Amino acid sequence: MITEGVAGANMLTARWAATVSDGEPTVLSGAGVWPLLAYLSSAAEGAERAELEQALGMPAAPAVEAATELLGVLRSATGTHAVLGLWVHRLLRLHDEWLRTVPADTVEVLVGTDAFDAWVRKHTDGLLDGMSTPPDPETLLVLAMVLTVRTRWREPFLDGTLGIADGPWAGRQFAWLHRWTADRDRLAVYDTERGQVTVLSVDGVSDITVDLVIGEADVPTGAVLAAGITAPDAGGPRRLGSQLTDADAPGLRLESNSARSVPMLSASVPRFTVSRGHDLLADGELFGLLAVARPDRQRLPRMSDTPLAVGAARQELTASFTAEGFEAAVSTRFDVAAAGGLPDEWRDDVGVEFDRPFGFVVRHRPSGLVLLAGWVTEPDPPLPVREFSRGEDDDF
């Protein structure tokens, strides 16, 4: 059964995919954006909250619960890894009520970009090297999510080459992958509003399946990709590979091979790697970010008393399909800055850091008796990461 969070993220991915231009190589992940929009919506009010809820497809409160559940699914599934990060400027005071909506053990102090880039490299095993665009110096908070997907095929492909006789790739040769299987129902043809869409499902040994989608030649790229996302769950007309009696569908050919006693499905697909960066504010209406990104006044009152607005929103991705398997990494980041610039009252604040060996003194307050004193040269190592559970009352 598809949960509300999964349904919301899938629909966001489909709406985003529908905007892809013809001839434009791309990769995108609504699953990498949707949880961040949910946590952001809980910090907004009025028009900003309503716009974010429209993009989420549900009210803010249940969206936060669904986002936390979705992160749990991604963390527990074999073949995926997901982690949320929150970096906060040391002078920014967050409301405890909002902070408790964010999964525990995600908060760090915002000090430059090196720590964030190292976090991205760590959680993508080096597939991504951080963000291509660093945060603005006046950024006060970064809310980010990293998602990786890795699997090996249950049935590997064979590496080879193939020359293309006609179509947009005519006269060119590519590295191709070939595979034969008796499970012809790995292939399905769906009848959609934008014509027929052919989908080949490739299963990994983990919980991952990669669907390869091809549509009719005259249908826009975005429409084909969106149909490939929604059609398998829409319950509309379809024909499975074992039911096909003609080649009247995109990408299909029917072959006769008397040497085999069992009918087979042969599949050929080019080996590929696609990488892309997205400026999510450029599609602010799609993601519900138009109002919350206007810096003229407070846009996130439930997050902090300091006037805040979203200053940047970016996603970086890479995905590779090979003979052995599939791997991809997604890094999504929302930068939050002071609306109208840094508050003047911060100019004279005083801060203190115990960033080298220090002492401590314990007193009995009523009598003034010093009970013990000491000197710290080796602070404790970080605590093990705790799983977030509803109802925890963690203070920042």
pLDDT digits (tens, 9 = 90+) for 57-113: 999 999 999 999 999 989 888 999 999 999 999 889 999 999 999 988 889 988 877
Q: Residue 44: its pLDDT value, please?
A: 97
The secondary structure of residue 393, as a DSSP letter, is -
Please tell me the distance from the alpha carbon of residue 296 to that of residue 310, in angstroms, as a whole number.
11
What was the pLDDT predicted at 354? 65
Q: Give the tokens for residue 254.
A: 């029917």
- Yes or no: say if 373 and 360 are a contact pair by the CB < 8 Å rule: yes
| Phi, psi torsion values for 151, nearest 5 degrees | -160, 155
Q: Say if residue 395's pLDDT is above 70.
A: no
Please give the pLDDT value at position 87. Answer: 94
pLDDT confidence tier of residue 351, bands split at 50, 70 and 90: low
Is residue 256 scored above 90 in pLDDT? no
- According to the model, what pLDDT value does residue 386 have? 46
The structural domains of the chain, with segments of one domain joined by +, span: 4-152+273-345, 183-263
Strand extents, DSSP E, 4-157: 80-88, 107-109, 139-152
Whether residue 21 is predicted with pLDDT greater than 80 in this model: the reply is yes
pLDDT digits (tens, 9 = 90+) for 292-328: 999 999 999 999 999 999 999 999 999 999 999 999 9
Amino acid at 146: V
SS3 114: helix
In 272-368 the beta strands, taken as DSSP E runs, fall at: 272-279, 308-321, 325-338, 358-364
- pLDDT band with cut points at 50, 70 and 90 for residue 255: confident
Task: Let me know if 395 is exposed, middle or buried by CB neighbors in 10 A (0-12, 13-18, 19+).
Answer: exposed
Helix (H) or strand (E) holding 213: strand 209-215
Residue 393 is predicted with a pLDDT of 42
In this prediction, residue 235 carries a pLDDT of 84
157, 178 Cβ separation under 8 angstroms: yes
pLDDT of residue 310: 97
The H-or-E segment that residue 266 falls in is: strand 265-270
For residue 332, is pLDDT > 50?
Answer: yes
- Segment among 149-163, 273-287, 296-310, 373-387 with least mean pLDDT: 373-387
How many whole angstroms separate alpha carbon 349 and alpha carbon 137?
Answer: 18
CA separation for the pair 387, 103 (Å, rounded): 8
Q: Taking all residues of the chain, what is their mean pLDDT, rounded to a whole number? A: 87
pLDDT of residue 387: 45
> What is residue 144's predicted lDDT score, i.e. its pLDDT?
96
Nearest to 157 by CA among 319, 270, 275: 270
Give CA–CA dist 33/276, Å, rounded. Answer: 15
Q: Pick 182 or 53 by higher pLDDT.
A: 53
Distance from C-alpha of 106 to C-alpha of 94, rounded to nearest angstrom: 14
Domain 4-152+273-345, second-level architecture: 2-Layer Sandwich (3.30)
pLDDT of residue 358: 77
pLDDT at residue 350, rounded to an integer: 62
Confidence of residue 185 (pLDDT cuts 50, 70, 90): very high
DSSP H or E run through 11: helix 4-17
Is the separation of the CB atoms in 314 and 333 below 8 Å? yes
Model confidence band, residue 261 (pLDDT cutoffs 50, 70, 90)? low
The pLDDT-based confidence of 258 (bands split at 50, 70, 90) is low
The stretch 346-374 carries a mean pLDDT of 70
Beta bridge partners of 195: 192
Of 36-50, 218-232, 274-288, 331-345, minimum mean pLDDT range: 331-345
Q: How far is CA 78 from CA 1, 181, 232, 383, in A?
A: 18, 24, 22, 25
Pick the residue with more confidence: 375 or 393? Answer: 375
More confident call, 74 vs 259 = 74
Higher pLDDT, 56 or 382: 56
Q: Over 70: is that where the pLDDT of 357 sits? A: yes
> Bigger pLDDT: 15 or 137?
15
Angle between helices 60-76 and 34-41 (to 10 degrees): 140
